[in-house]
Amino acid sequence: MELSLGEMLLIAVAIVVLFGPDKLPQIARDLGAGVRKMRGAMEDVKTEILKETDNPVSEIKREIDKVKQAAKDYNPMSELDKEAAKPAEPKENLAENDQHEGPVSR
């Protein structure tokens, strides 16, 4: 809400007419103190709201960062490399095994 110069002059004239010029300094002081209190209260409320809303947001950001780091650290090729690095078990040659009877056909 912005007041133009003409609107402020109209308000000042109305205050002087209603309360008189001798009470004008006291009214200005009271009005200034009220505005300061309102600004302080608004700042306190704003700080409290930001404090309350910042905690869940920062927790979510930390969780997202953890997931991103886990995704960066995950390398599916490393598991394949481990499997490839294991020594292969020698396969039994069934043709040389006399004990093996092979598939049964009927």
Q: Is residue 51 part of a domain?
A: yes
Q: Is residue 30 part of a domain?
A: yes
What percentage of the chain has pLDDT greater than the value 90?
23
Query: CA-CA distance, 20 to 13, in Å (whole number)?
Result: 10
Q: Is residue 89 part of a domain?
A: no
Q: Is residue 19 part of a domain?
A: yes
Domain that holds residue 78: 13-83
Q: Residues 14-24: pLDDT tens digits?
A: 988 998 888 88
Q: Per the structure, how many domains does the chain have?
A: 1
Q: Is residue 4 part of a domain?
A: no
- Binned at pLDDT 50, 70 and 90, residue 45 comes out as very high
**pLDDT for res 76:** 76
Q: Is residue 32 part of a domain?
A: yes
Which sign does the torsion angle of CA 34, 36, 42, 48 carry? negative
41-76 core/surface letters (b: 16 or more CB in 10 A; e: else): eeeeeeeeeeeeeeeeeeeeeeeeeeeeeeeeeeee
**pLDDT for res 41:** 95
Token pair 């004990």: residue: 99
pLDDT of 106 strictly over 60: no
Q: Is residue 48 part of a domain?
A: yes
Q: Is residue 34 part of a domain?
A: yes
